[in-house]
Amino acid sequence: MAHIYMHFDFGADEEKAQQARHKLDVWKQAFRLDKKVQYKLDRPEDADAEEPAAGDNDKSRSPGRAAKAQKSGDASEESGTGNVSLLVRLYFSSHEKLSEQRWIERIPSEEPFKSASPKILRQGEPGFDAAVKQFADLD
């Protein structure tokens, strides 16, 4: 079986993205889906620059870098480019088709995922190759 990707766009709602991530973690542990369900959060670069600025370790950073992080944070607030998305990869073997179908139906129907405009991408569909590349690029 090929991988199936689900893309959820949470917009600027980091809290809902974290709730979705937590729900996936609970399911992975409860149903032993370690290799079958994997996910990665995609945050814009501006959000990554803001996180260290929130801590008390501003003294260890150079003044130019702190100013750049603050400037990029201001720019992200003005332009509204704080979109957080979640990319979920499902991989079930060929004899687990029923389980695969149940998870494809269940994940987008649950609450934190429902409002995130879910997209399901299967092999051969437009956007599948981009999803594979995006998943591989995220850490």
Structure confidence at residue 68 as a pLDDT band (50, 70, 90)? very low
Please give the pLDDT value at position 77.
42
Please give the pLDDT value at position 82.
78
Residue 14: CA atoms inside 13 Å, Cβ hemisphere, count?
Answer: 7
Whole-number average pLDDT of the chain: 80
User: Does the domain at residues 1-43+85-139 carry the CATH identifier 3.30.70?
Assistant: yes
Residue 2 pLDDT > 50: yes
Asked if 87 contacts 40 with a C-beta cutoff of 8 angstroms, the reply is: yes
Over the stretch 7-51, which tens digit does the pLDDT of each residue have?
A: 999 999 999 999 999 999 999 999 999 999 999 999 876 544 444
Domain ranges of the chain: 1-43+85-139, 45-81
Asked if 78 contacts 72 with a C-beta cutoff of 8 angstroms, the reply is: no
